[in-house]
Amino acid sequence: MSTIESQNVTDYPNSNTIFMVWKLHDSPQLKDAFQNLCALVLNLNNSGFNRFPDSRVSCVMGIGAEAWKKLELPTPAPKELANFKEIKGEKHTAVSTPGDLHFHLRADNKSLIFDMAIEISKLLKPVAESILEIHGFKYWDARSILGFVDGTENPHGDDRDYFAKIGDEDLQYKGGSYLFVQKYLHNMDAWKSLTKEDQEKVIGRSKENDIEMSDDVKPSNSHIALANIEGENGEELKIVRDNMPFGNPSTNEFGTYFISYASTFTTTNKMLTNMFIGNPPGNYDRILDFSTAVTGTLFFVPTRNMLDDFSG
């Protein structure tokens, strides 16, 4: 039995990132193009690592529920792969938006992922439409544009594999991962109108040193209080985030691209429910008063072995 090789879902955040979402056309060339695409993704990763072993370069491809059907990929499909259902709270909504293929490109050197994006786009343009492209970057010491460190609760070591990749509970898709993404836009004028102390209450951490507030001080509607979740028996539930900030100062558009890899989408969905509906209901995540989700799409990340099979 061959060794299962996952895509690079547990790589740590990098200095430069390109995120792309594509929608497939009904084209007679689609299946051939997809075969070539799977081969290209494998080639880009192998070539990037061999040519620039210290660049931490990778290309991760995710496939949406509709694309899985359209491309006639293995059945049954991954059991939690479906179109994301919006989560509507009293004030804020985690919207659902379409997407067939998602690409997560990262490297220390932006030239590498820029060339990767060109090759992927060249192959896909005859059979698909680009519906989102975001160029993210590392902001200071891994902070979001809001000024707070992002991703402090990420798992480390072996826990990254445990929380990000499917295990023995689904042998057909073992080593795969559920990928969920949201593009958030920040109202920086409203955010900057808050004092530093009030900003810290929204997040649940100190701004300068990234220290979590104690439970008796931390507001119950702070981001940390609602985004950190537990299972029915009090066990810790985590996802692997690789969020990246982006922005265009001249147009005053600033945001965060939220991206998570998880062994089960149920975990991510529970976190989103806490944030948007609240725990208890109505006690929603205060950060949503300043950050609006304008996209929301679920994908499945097959293993490299599966990509090899798909490539024919």
Q: Catalytic residue numbers?
A: 150
| Radius of gyration in angstroms for the set of CA atoms belonging to the chain, rounded to a whole number | 19
Question: What is d(CA 214, CA 97) in angstroms, rounded to the nearest whole number?
Answer: 37
* Burial zone of 196 (CB within 10 Å; 0-12 exposed, 13-18 middle, 19+ buried): exposed
Report in angstroms the alpha-carbon separations of 86 from 89, 153, 193, 276: 10, 25, 30, 10
Question: What string of DSSP letters covers the chain?
Answer: -PPP---STTPPP-SEEEEEEEEE---TTHHHHHHHHHHHHHHHHHHHHHH-TTS--EEEEEE-HHHHHHTT--SSPPTT-SPPPPEE-SS-EE-----SEEEEEEESSHHHHHHHHHHHHHHHTTTEEEEEEEEEE--TTTB-TTSSB--TT---THHHHHHHS--GGGGGGTT-EEEEEEEEEE-HHHHHTS-HHHHHHHHTB-TTT-PBPPTTTS-TTSHHHHHSEE-TTS-EE--EE--EEEEEGGGTEEEEEEEEEES-HHHHHHHHHHHHTTTTTT---GGGGTEEE---EEEEE--HHHHHHHT-
